[in-house]
Structure 1
Amino acid sequence: MTREELLQQARKIESVSEETSAEMKNNSELLLSLINKNLSERNDIEKYIGTGSIQMMKINHKNHIEFMSSVMSEYDPNVFSETVLWAVRTYMARGFKKEYWQIQLNEWLRLFKENLSEKAFREISPFYTFILNNLDNIVETNEDDS
């Protein structure tokens, strides 16, 4: 898949409502705390992020929630798709495995479902589904660019 094809798919995602944006921002500290706790407690996490990379993982989670909160409310498909490509490429270069992204993104979805309103979950989930459904393509596009 090319960057342009990825962008075309990203254009199908709609921005979230002001209510969902506010709800996500108001709960971002809780969500961040939960994802850091849940992933740090996994016995196998270093298999996916490398030995001694817990702090880097937590930095990624903080940057992730801040970026996603911002991009969802003022959605620009190009910024979204290019940033996803960059983040996956950057962290994989630091030893993070593709499986980490699968684990992390599914955990965010679970946390959103458990801690946000049904409406917020419905509006937020397409962003995560997009990344999960295109993860192989994202990794492949990054490899082609190298």
Structure 2
Amino acid sequence: MTKEELITIAGQLKQPKESTQKEFEEKLDVILSEVNKKMLSRIDLIMLIGENNEAMMLDNHRNQLRFMNSMFMCFNPEILLETVLWLFRAYPNHGFNLTYWPAMLNVVLDEIEKELSNDAFNQLKPFYTWLLIYQPFFSKLANQ
């Protein structure tokens, strides 16, 4: 799959309502705290992120949620894809395994479902589904 095809598919994602973005922003710290707690408690954490990368992982969680909040405010499929490709190039160089991404994104999705209204969750879920489904293509494109 090409970058252009991924951008086209991402372009079909619907911009969340402003009220959904605000709800996400209001719960961001709670979601972040729970994601951090769950990821730090994983028995396979070193396999996912490598040795001594906990601080980098925690920074990534904060940055990921803030970035997605900005996408929920002003969605741009090209920026979304380019940012994801950058992550897939940069983080493996620090010891992160590609399996970290679905592990982390699934935890984020679980926490969003717990913390937000059903309506808000249903508006945000397609963004995370896109990130999860197309991971093999992100990995391939990032290494070209």
How does the TM-score come out when normalised to structure 1? 0.96
Between the two proteins, the alignment pairs up a number of residues equal to 144
> What pairs up with 1:19-34 in 2 under 5 angstroms?
19-34=19-34
Question: Is contact 2:105-2:132 (8 Å) kept?
Answer: yes
The code of the aligned residue for 1:48 comes to L
Secondary structure of 2:143's counterpart equals: helix
Match of 2:6 in 1: 6
- 1:23: Cα distance to partner? 0.5
Secondary structure of 2:134's counterpart equals: helix
Match of 2:89 in 1: 89
Q: Distance in 2 between matches of 1:121 and 1:70?
A: 16
Whether 1:117 and 2:117 are equivalent positions in the alignment is: yes
- Deviation string 1:32-66 (CA, Å, 9 cap, x unpaired) is 11000100011111111001101100000010010
Q: Distance in 2 between matches of 1:21 and 1:88?
A: 26
Q: Distance in 2 between matches of 1:15 and 1:89?
A: 27
Over the aligned positions, Cα root-mean-square deviation in angstroms equals 0.8
Match of 1:141 in 2: 141
- Deviation string 1:51-107 (CA, Å, 9 cap, x unpaired) is 110110000001001000011121111111111111222112211111100100111
The code of the aligned residue for 1:69 comes to N
> What pairs up with 1:70-109 in 2 under 5 angstroms?
70-109=70-109
- 1:5: Cα distance to partner? 1.3
Q: Distance in 1 between matches of 2:95 and 2:2?
A: 24
Where structure 1 has 5 or more consecutive residues not aligned to the other structure, the ranges are none
- Deviation string 1:97-139 (CA, Å, 9 cap, x unpaired) is 1110010011111111111110111011111100100000000
Moved over 6 A (4+): none
Question: Is contact 2:7-2:78 (8 Å) kept?
Answer: yes
Q: Distance in 2 between matches of 1:88 and 1:73?
A: 24
Match of 1:126 in 2: 126
Whether 1:37 and 2:48 are equivalent positions in the alignment is: no
Where structure 2 has 5 or more consecutive residues not aligned to the other structure, the ranges are none
Q: Distance in 2 between matches of 1:34 and 1:129?
A: 20
Q: Distance in 1 between matches of 2:100 and 2:29?
A: 21
Q: Distance in 2 between matches of 1:88 and 1:6?
A: 15
